[in-house]
């Protein structure tokens, strides 16, 4: 028996039986055809699998499903039918297309291979003739959240000496900090993770906050990331030295001491949702009870039986309210902005034991399931945010597809509140769906129906010592105020000072709310400074921040490699490339839903400019970031 065959073999067991009976059937098909290369059998399923969100998504005949399970069992337990050669690209693409019920075009293949763990884009340590980073060349990474961890992993793989500075006591970033009841992730677990570490142990199809943090902790342990990390340390300033081509980084240590670290390059991974903000409401400081923000939830706060006020109705509020409504005595939710709500039946589903076993043990299954989740939640949703000129002037939708999605959301709301027309009136938005962040319902609507929950929409006049006075004069006496009021996203540097060539100040250039960059990463005048998750790089049409982060890390290390190979000191994007890119973004944005007259969210600044969103597909960002384009940068020597 070949080595390939022996690796695929599993013992016949009750666990295998349960996995075959309960695991996702199109993914079992993908794994079987990948292992067997039985293209003819694949085609028998093609008429029975439809695109994501179809009703029903499949109508696979039971006899055909049973035949698949029997074939896969035989292959896994005996090796019968196992192909002896690598999977051809043409068959891989056909598996993709059949199992998601629609064509997967050529432009997506490299992305799928990379993001689903089949063929990682590049392992720089294995490139023949590659120039290795010289001794003493050091990269400093700000933040040990998802992006910072990606940077640390890939910097080590590429041979770069590096240090990660993290203000918190451990890794995790957003998922270390956000611990409020009900905290969770909108993106599906099996996609919102690193492509090189696909985890089979998720408890839910959409991870709760603790699950996400546990995953990141296990990744940190497996890759020994803490070895290059300093915790409880905050970066205060970066100052560029033109003579040496280095950055002097001033940090504040846990004991209050300031220290300077010299680095050749800086990767800023502190993220846009790291600086939470309290609302500017008169009297807030005078409230006599606890006032907390969802992003800084006290571990010892007990709201059981208390009267609680929640300010805000965005994603964090919806998760929190759904979780605490059954526990509190009274709950009043203060709404300033209405939000569209979609129902995904998987949002609270636990991953069955058979599915977990398949992910952990059946060869290629976890990769194919990640592909399936990615395809449903990524660029297939892009049509929702692209304006159709024929719909110009419509206040509520920007295309036929966008209108259909709106009607789906309306239908769900009307079903949930069939006997509560008052709530339908209070909750129905007057802007196109997807022009602001979507809420996935995980108990939000059910909570609003409860007798002990009140939705207040008249606005807040002021905070009293023992309660909140609404603008209509009503007063809600409460014990605790929770601010689910989001983050200061527009001021992307926070309180960080960055001084580049000639002493120029990036904070002054960006101001309070108008950041611009090249590809969301670089600004001319700041050599070897890379700002991840920066302006106009957020995938606001779909899931995929993890993909964007990986793409940016790839591009940054390629930029560093070009610097090292040329024996140069630093990499700097040109002003021409920066200006051309921003003109391209500005020309594109009027075609996008976020520029709709009724769209007004944290994606936009106060002048209406969409500074946050990436206005193309994820596959376009992937393709743009394979390497810096020739002619777009200079190398300082």
Which of 255, 221, 254, 249 is CA-nearest to residue 236?
249
Q: What is the 3-state secondary structure (H, E, C) of 179-195?
A: CCCCCECCCCCCCCCCC
**Is residue 385 included in any domain, yes or no?**
no
At 611, list the tokens: 């500074």
User: Coil, helix or strand for 122?
Assistant: coil
What is the rounded end-to-end Cα distance, in angstroms, of the chain?
57
Cβ atoms of residues 593 and 392 within 8 Å = no
CA-to-CA separations, 87 to 5, 94, 469, in angstroms, rounded: 14, 11, 66
**Is residue 467 included in any domain, yes or no?**
yes
Q: What is the pLDDT of residues 256-283, one digit of tens each?
A: 999 999 999 999 999 888 889 999 999 9
Mean pLDDT of 348-363: 95
Same-domain check for residues 426 and 296 = yes
Cβ atoms of residues 455 and 423 within 8 Å = yes
The reported pLDDT for the residue numbered 123 is: 83
**Is residue 141 included in any domain, yes or no?**
yes
**Is residue 129 included in any domain, yes or no?**
no
Q: Which residues contact 38 (CB under 8 A, 6 or more apart)?
A: 32, 71, 81
The reported pLDDT for the residue numbered 546 is: 95
Mean pLDDT of 164-179: 95
What total number of domains does the chain contain?
Answer: 3
Same-domain check for residues 510 and 438 = no
Band (326; pLDDT cuts 50, 70, 90): very high
**Strands, E assignment, 346-492:** 439-440, 453-456, 460-464, 467-470, 475-477, 480-483
The reported pLDDT for the residue numbered 347 is: 79
Band (8; pLDDT cuts 50, 70, 90): low
The alpha-carbon radius of gyration of the chain (Å, integer) is 26
CB atoms within 10 A of CB 592: 23
Same-domain check for residues 14 and 106 = yes
**Is residue 459 included in any domain, yes or no?**
yes
Mean pLDDT of 9-19: 93
At 310, list the tokens: 């929640």
**Is residue 157 included in any domain, yes or no?**
yes
Instruction: Tally the residues of the chain.
Output: 637
Q: Which of 483, 508, 531 is the last residue of a domain?
A: 483
Which of 293, 285, 287 is CA-nearest to residue 479?
287
Cβ atoms of residues 28 and 16 within 8 Å = no
Q: Is the pLDDT of residue 453 over 90?
A: yes
Q: What is the pLDDT of residues 545-555, one digit of tens each?
A: 999 999 999 99
Q: Can you give the residue range of the structural domain that contains 542?
A: 135-275+489-636
Question: What is the average pLDDT value for the chain, to the nearest integer?
Answer: 95
Same-domain check for residues 103 and 145 = no
Q: Looking at residue 479, which CATH number applies to its domain?
A: 3.50.50.60
Q: What is the pLDDT of residues 404-445, one digit of tens each?
A: 999 999 999 999 999 999 999 999 999 999 999 999 999 999
Q: What is the pLDDT of residues 614-627, one digit of tens each?
A: 999 999 999 999 99
At 357, list the tokens: 């076993």
**Is residue 130 included in any domain, yes or no?**
no
Band (7; pLDDT cuts 50, 70, 90): low
Same-domain check for residues 467 and 418 = yes
Q: Which residue in this structure is represented by tokens 């199109």?
A: 26
Same-domain check for residues 429 and 526 = no
Same-domain check for residues 365 and 311 = no
Same-domain check for residues 302 and 269 = no
Same-domain check for residues 358 and 238 = no
Same-domain check for residues 479 and 500 = no
Same-domain check for residues 417 and 342 = yes
**Is residue 386 included in any domain, yes or no?**
no
Band (3; pLDDT cuts 50, 70, 90): very low
Same-domain check for residues 397 and 333 = yes
**Strands, E assignment, 94-183:** 138-142, 161-165
Q: What is the pLDDT of residues 477-496, one digit of tens each?
A: 999 999 999 999 999 999 99
| Percent of the chain predicted with pLDDT > 70 | 99
CB atoms within 10 A of CB 566: 13
The reported pLDDT for the residue numbered 256 is: 93
Q: Which of 432, 459, 483 is the last residue of a domain?
A: 483
Secondary structure element (H or E) that encloses residue 239, with its range: strand 234-241
Secondary structure element (H or E) that encloses residue 571, with its range: strand 570-573
């Amino acid at each position: 028996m070949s080595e390939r065959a022996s690796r695929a073999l599993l013992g016949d067991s009750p666990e295998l039986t349960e996995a075959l009976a309960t695991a996702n059937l199109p993914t079992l098909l993908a794994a079987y055809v990948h292992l067997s290369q039985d293209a003819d059998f694949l085609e028998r399923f093609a008429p029975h699998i439809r695109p994501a969100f179809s009703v029903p998504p499949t109508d696979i005949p039971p006899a055909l499903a049973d035949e698949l399970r029997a074939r896969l069992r035989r292959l896994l337990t005996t090796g019968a039918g196992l192909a002896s050669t690598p999977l051809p690209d043409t068959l891989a693409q056909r598996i993709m297309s059949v199992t998601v019920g629609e064509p997967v075009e050529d432009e997506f293949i490299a992305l799928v291979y990379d993001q689903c763990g089949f063929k990682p884009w590049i392992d720089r340590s294995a490139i023949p003739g590659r120039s290795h980073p010289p001794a003493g060349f050091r990269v400093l990474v700000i933040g040990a959240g998802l992006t910072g961890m990606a940077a640390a992993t890939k910097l080590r793989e590429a041979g770069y000496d590096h240090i990660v500075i993290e203000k918190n006591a451990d890794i995790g970033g957003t998922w270390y900090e956000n611990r409020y009841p009900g905290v969770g992730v909108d993106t599906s677990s099996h996609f919102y993770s690193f492509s090189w570490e696909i985890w089979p142990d998720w408890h839910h199809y959409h991870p709760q906050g603790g699950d996400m943090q546990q995953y990141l902790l296990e990744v940190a342990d497996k890759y020994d990331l803490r070895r290059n990390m300093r915790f409880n340390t905050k970066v205060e300033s970066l100052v560029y030295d033109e003579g040496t081509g280095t950055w002097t980084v001033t940090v504040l240590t846990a004991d209050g001491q300031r220290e300077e670290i010299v680095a050749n390059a800086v990767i800023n991974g502190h993220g846009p949702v790291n600086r939470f903000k309290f609302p500017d409401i008169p009297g807030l400081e005078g409230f006599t009870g606890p006032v907390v923000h969802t992003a800084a939830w006290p571990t010892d706060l007990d709201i059981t039986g208390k009267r609680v006020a929640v300010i805000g109705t965005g994603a964090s509020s919806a998760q929190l309210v759904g979780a605490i409504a059954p526990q509190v005595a009274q709950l009043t939710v203060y709404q300033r902005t209405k939000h569209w709500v979609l129902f995904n039946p998987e949002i609270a589903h636990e991953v069955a034991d058979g599915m977990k076993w398949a992910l952990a043990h059946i060869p290629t299954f976890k990769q194919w399931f990640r592909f399936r989740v990615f395809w449903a939640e990524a660029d297939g949703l892009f049509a929702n945010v692209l304006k159709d000129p024929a719909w110009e002037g419509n206040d509520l939708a920007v295309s036929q597809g966008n209108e259909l999605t709106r009607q789906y959301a309306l239908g769900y709301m009307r079903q949930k509140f069939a006997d509560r027309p008052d709530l339908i009136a209070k909750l129905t938005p007057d802007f196109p769906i997807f022009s602001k962040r979507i809420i996935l319902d995980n108990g939000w609507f059910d909570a609003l129906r409860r007798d002990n929950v009140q939705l207040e929409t008249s606005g807040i006049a002021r905070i009293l010592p023992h309660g909140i006075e609404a603008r209509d004069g009503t007063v809600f006496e409460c014990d605790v105020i929770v601010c689910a009021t989001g983050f200061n996203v527009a001021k992307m540097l926070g309180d960080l000072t960055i001084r580049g060539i000639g002493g120029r100040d990036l904070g002054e250039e960006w101001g309070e709310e108008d950041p611009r960059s090249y590809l969301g990463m670089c600004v001319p005048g700041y050599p070897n400074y890379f700002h991840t998750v920066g302006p106009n790089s957020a995938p606001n049409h779909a899931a995929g921040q993890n993909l964007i982060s990986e793409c940016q890390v790839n591009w940054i290390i390629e930029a560093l490699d070009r610097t090292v190979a040329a024996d140069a000191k630093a990499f700097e994007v040109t002003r021409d490339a920066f200006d051309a890119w921003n003109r391209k973004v500005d020309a594109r944005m009027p075609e996008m839903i976020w520029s709709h007259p009724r769209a007004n969210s944290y994606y936009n600044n106060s002048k209406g400019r969409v500074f946050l969103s990436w206005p193309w597909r994820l596959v376009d960002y992937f393709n743009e970031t394979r390497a810096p384009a020739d002619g777009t940068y200079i190398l300082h020597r």
